[in-house]
Structure formats: structure tokens, C-alpha cells
């Protein structure tokens, strides 16, 4: 059977490259297709195409651009099954549960919401003599660099607000999940003017060329903190504004007044949605000694009841780790925890057979200083640290260099809010974790990046303020 060769989209045209690379199914190891390795000249051509059409796109009315977004939402809806199957095959998350169908549904919602929002002129100051207005104008060309964990949803977060506000986009998908992203861009181009949305695929080198390209005015990146630092360096060449959503290593604190059975589902999916391969997953769980054993028992029951396997098979709700690099990192951290004599309640060893399968793993009797606690594992392994003193738990939760999300679990709303106010994170959830919403700003602090996405604040992040100051006496 011949292998499909996928294409990039530049100025509305399908673009191939002389060199290609293989994309794999992480559940089976099979080759899904060949992906173009974009050249530096192709990256420059994509930026030039976006630059050339940006003034005309920005000149459209808000209502016209909203209309285009609604057309794109319809394209996503019409192709939901096709795109979801591609995501399952290439990323690994199952079709069922909070998997690939859920991801495409999220793409539709995160397209419709920016189309519903307004950015009216704001009055900064006005008196009898003057009026100062804040107008929101496009930045220009947005370079979007998408990750492999939620390849279409996060791409949507980057693309749709940018297009809504009059920018044009060049997107580089992760080299691990290129096919589904390239296909989404191809489909969206069936309703867009040529050049408004373009793609370039390839290794990290391609991302570097795109980030530093002259003509790029804004960079949106979701990924690791180490790559985020390289993005900042690259932006010095073109003075592009930057939004970074980087690593999390989120902490959750469980207070002694909870009902373990009632919070177990929230803790489980807060930790293991997408096999823990989500920036805002619980990566460190601090549980008060009074409920520690009961919480662990409830989580263990859920872990045993969740079917894992090839996500195309009916009933499967947990899939493989997406790529071998991440798989090996998880194994390394687990082996280190074993050397520290941590207790493995379940899991702890890679599954035999094809694919990057690692079982849900709960680890107790682990020191807070262990690598598995201090380093973001980004996988299906959860270290559970017992505490007796709440102040110490908060101190442990805050004692990392990242701060994306965090959560507090308690039946006492007042105490939960007090703890939430002391936790260092861009978002602190109470009795839930990772429950993002398209109307609610989301972003990190410390080395988890800067800038926000979603809602009106997310739209403002892909615009620049233009002040019009009026002398009333002469107006």
C-alpha cells in the first residue's frame, strides 16, 4: 500500500518539499504518512504570502471576519469524524471520553466564541477639552507554533483569535503530529481567502526560521520552557511580540474535610486527561494525612477501571504516550522514584507489545524533593505527597519555577479560597482542575510563560492599542 504524502498550504496552494519525514501512530508504530520538511525559502514564502494579504484582511469589517470564523466552525463540524480519527491515529488519544472527538468539539467552540466577542472602542479619558480613545488594531502576521499534545485544539487557540482581529497566520505544527494539523489548515482554506492561513512543517529548525523571520509581528507558542527561551531569543531579530504558554507541573492540595469518593473523578481526570500530557494537568498531588489513604484508594479503583489501548477500538478511554522521547523521560523519572524507595500503588512498568503504552501509575511514600515531584513528567504518573501541616503543603506547592495552574479541594469554600489566594499560579481552580473555558483568560506566571489566551483578554493579546486623541475645541 502506498504511503500518503501530505502537503503544506501557502497562499491557498498545496505545497510539497523535496525532503519529507514519517509520522507514526503511537499506538501501533505504523507509518501514517509522509510530511514535508519545509525549507527556509518556503518559510519565507509563507510569511510573505501572509504579509501581502494582511492589509486586505484587516480592512474587512468585524462582521465579515466573524462570518469567516463561523464558516470555519462549520468546516470543522462537517469534518469532525475525519479530523478526530486523524488525531487518534497520530496523537494517540482515544476517540471516546475526553479524547479526539472532544478535542474537535473544543475546536468548534473556540472558533465560535471569538466570533461572538466584541472589541469596542474604549474611552481612556474625556473631559470638556479632550477625548482619548483606545482602538484595537491588528498586529500583522502571527507565527503560531503548535504542540503535539492537543495538536488541533491549541492550533485553534492560536489561529482563530488572530484571524478574528485582522491578523494573518503562518502555523508550524509539531513534527510529531503534523498530519492532522496540516489537514485542518487545508480544510479551513476552502472557505478563506488565499494567504490568510498558511502552514509550514518540519523540525524545530523550521520553528526557529519562522520565529525569527522578518515580517513576523507576533509569535504564539505552546510547549516547553526550554523552547520558550529560544523563541524569546529568536524574537529579538524581528521585534515580534510574544505569547508563551509553557510547562506547568501543576500542584493540587487536598484538605482533610473532603469526601474522597466525591472528588476522585475530578482528581483522576484532572491528572490523567490525555494521559497526563496536558500542561494544566495535576502533576503533584498533596493530600492531608487524614484522607490520604482513602483518596489513594479511590484513585486506584478508577485507574483499574479505565480501559487502555488503541484509541480507535470501542470502549478505550486511555491511549499511549505520544512519542518515544516523552515515553523515555517518563520511564527515567519512574526508575529514579524506584531508586528512592517510593511506593508504587499501581503501574510503574511499561506495557509489553507495540506502541508507547505506559499504565496509569500512582506513587506514594515519595519525598517532595524527588525528581518525579520536582520535574514535570507530562505523562500518566502521579506522585502523591502526604502532608500534615497546610502551610508546609502550600510552601511545597509553590517551591517550583513554574506556575501555570493549581487547585484546592475542600468542602469549605472560604478556606479553599484562602488557600487559592496563597498558591502561585496563573489559574487556581477550587474543586476542579484544568477546566478551561473559551471566555476565561488563561496564562501562566514565572517560567510558565507570559501573556494570556481566551476571551476578550485573549483577543486583546493579538492586537495593539492605537490611541486617537481629540481636541474638542477644534473638533
Cα(423)–Cα(359) distance, integer angstroms: 30
Known active-site residue 279:
yes
Strands (E), 311-417: 343-346, 361-364, 381-387, 402-403, 405-409
Catalytic residue among 245, 298, 376, 453: 245
Cα(198)–Cα(169) distance, integer angstroms: 6
Catalytic residue among 175, 279, 298, 453: 279
Q: Which residues of 35-46 are buried (b: 16+ CB within 10 A; e: fewer)?
A: bbbbbeebbbbb
- Expressed in angstroms, the distance from the first to the final Cα of the chain is 72
Q: How many CB atoms lie within 10 A of CB 5?
A: 12
**Per this entry, what is the length of the chain?**
475
Q: Which residues pair with 125 in a beta bridge?
A: 132
DSSP H or E stretch at residue 343:
strand 343-346
Phi first, then psi, for residue 108 (nearest 5°) are: -65, -45
Q: Which of 24, 22, 47, 51 is nearest to 37 (CA)?
A: 22
- Tell whether the torsion through CA atoms of 84, 88, 89 and 90 is positive or negative: positive
How far is residue 352 from each of residues 222, 305, 356, 359, measured CA to CA in Å? 32, 19, 9, 11
Within 79-152, where are the H helices?
80-90, 100-116
How far is residue 34 from each of residues 18, 117, 311, measured CA to CA in Å? 11, 39, 22
Helix (H, G, I), strand (E, B) or coil at 349: coil
Cα(262)–Cα(265) distance, integer angstroms: 7
Pairing verdict, β 250-254 and 141-145: unpaired
Known active-site residue 281:
no
Phi first, then psi, for residue 284 (nearest 5°) are: -140, 125
Report, as residue numbers or ranges, the catalytic residues. Answer: 245, 279
Amino acid at each position: 500500500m502506498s504511503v500518503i504524502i501530505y502537503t503544506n498550504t501557502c497562499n491557498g496552494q498545496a505545497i510539497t518539499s523535496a525532503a519529507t519525514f514519517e509520522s507514526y501512530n503511537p499506538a501501533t508504530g505504523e507509518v501514517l504518512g509522509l510530511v514535508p520538511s519545509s525549507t527556509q525559502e518556503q518559510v519565507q514564502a509563507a510569511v510573505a504570502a501572509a504579509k501581502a494579504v494582511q492589509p486586505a484582511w484587516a480592512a474587512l469589517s468585524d462582521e465579515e471576519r466573524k462570518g469567516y470564523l463561523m464558516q470555519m466552525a462549520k468546516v470543522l463540524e462537517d469534518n469532525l469524524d475525519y479530523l478526530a480519527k486523524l488525531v487518534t491515529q497520530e496523537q494517540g488519544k482515544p476517540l471516546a471520553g475526553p479524547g479526539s472527538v472532544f478535542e474537535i468539539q473544543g475546536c468548534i467552540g473556540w472558533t465560535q466564541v471569538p466570533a461572538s466577542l466584541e472589541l469596542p472602542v474604549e474611552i481612556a479619558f474625556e473631559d470638556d477639552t479632550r477625548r482619548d480613545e483606545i482602538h484595537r488594531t491588528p498586529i500583522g502576521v502571527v507565527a503560531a507554533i503548535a504542540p503535539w499534545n492537543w495538536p488541533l485544539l491549541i492550533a485553534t487557540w492560536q489561529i482563530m483569535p488572530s484571524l478574528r482581529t485582522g491578523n494573518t497566520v503562518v502555523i508550524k505544527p509539531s513534527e510529531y503530529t503534523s498530519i492532522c494539523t496540516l489537514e485542518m489548515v487545508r480544510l479551513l482554506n476552502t472557505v478563506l481567502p488565499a494567504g490568510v492561513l498558511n502552514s509550514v512543517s518540519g523540525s524545530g529548525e523550521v520553528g526557529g526560521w519562522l520565529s525569527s523571520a522578518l515580517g513576523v509581528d507576533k509569535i504564539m507558542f505552546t510547549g516547553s520552557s526550554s523552547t520558550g527561551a529560544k523563541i524569546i531569543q529568536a524574537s529579538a531579530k524581528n521585534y515580534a511580540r510574544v505569547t508563551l504558554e509553557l510547562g506547568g507541573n501543576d500542584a493540587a492540595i487536598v484538605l482533610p474535610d473532603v469526601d474522597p469518593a466525591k472528588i476522585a473523578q475530578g482528581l483522576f481526570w484532572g491528572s490523567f486527561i490525555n494521559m497526563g500530557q496536558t500542561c494544566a494537568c495535576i502533576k503533584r498531588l498533596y493530600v492531608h494525612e487524614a484522607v490520604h489513604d482513602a483518596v489513594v484508594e479511590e484513585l486506584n479503583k478508577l485507574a483499574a477501571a479505565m480501559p487502555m489501548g488503541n484509541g480507535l477500538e470501542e470502549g478505550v478511554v486511555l491511549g499511549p504516550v505520544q512519542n518515544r522521547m516523552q515515553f523515555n523521560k517518563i520511564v527515567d523519572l519512574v526508575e529514579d522514584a524506584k531508586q528512592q524507595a517510593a511506593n508504587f500503588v499501581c503501574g510503574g512498568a511499561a506495557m509489553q507489545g507495540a506502541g508507547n503504552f505506559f499504565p496509569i501509575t500512582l506513587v506514594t511514600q515519595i519525598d517532595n524533593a524527588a525528581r518525579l515531584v520536582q520535574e514535570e513528567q507530562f505523562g500518566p504518573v502521579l506522585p502523591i505527597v502526604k502532608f500534615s501541616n497546610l502551610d508546609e503543603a502550600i510552601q511545597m506547592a509553590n517551591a517550583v519555577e513554574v506556575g501555570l495552574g493549581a487547585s484546592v479541594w475542600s468542602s469549605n469554600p472560604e478556606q479553599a479560597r484562602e488557600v487559592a489566594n496563597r498558591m502561585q499560579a496563573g489559574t487556581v481552580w477550587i474543586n476542579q482542575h484544568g477546566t478551561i473555558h473559551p471566555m476565561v483568560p488563561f496564562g501562566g506566571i514565572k517560567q510558565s510563560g507570559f501573556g494570556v489566551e481566551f476571551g476578550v483578554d485573549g483577543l486583546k493579546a493579538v492586537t495593539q492599542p492605537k490611541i486617537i486623541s481629540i481636541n474638542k475645541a477644534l473638533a
